[in-house]
Amino acid sequence: MLKKDYSLVILDVQMPVMDGFELADILSGAQKTKETPIIFLSAVNTDKKFITRGYASGAIDYIVKPFDPDILLLKIKTFIRLYN
């Protein structure tokens, strides 16, 4: 992400090495990526404390599985349009 520009990032909370919250904190704190929209997508971490932490980490949305793929695509298009 520090080498290429992205219009949007979709993160899972559970990832190897570091979790999605840690990566979101890094992206939100870096000059090059701080304005890049982040959407969390999670099947396991659906409690309010995780959703709150996602937003606190800089996410613009937190979606829990199962989700409607059509709604996700509409959200992605909207956030990319706002980003651009």
Question: What CATH topology corresponds to 9-83?
Answer: Rossmann fold (3.40.50)
Q: Is the pLDDT of residue 82 over 80?
A: yes
User: What's the chain's Rg over C-alpha atoms?
Assistant: 12
Domain chopping of the chain, boundaries: 9-83
Structural contact between residues 9 and 36, judged by C-beta atoms closer than 8 angstroms: yes
Q: pTM for this one?
A: 0.87
**Which tens digits make up the pLDDT trace of 29-80?**
888 998 899 999 998 888 899 999 999 998 999 999 899 999 999 999 998 8
- Collect all residues with Cβ–Cβ distance below 8 Å to 32 and sequence separation of at least 6: 1, 2
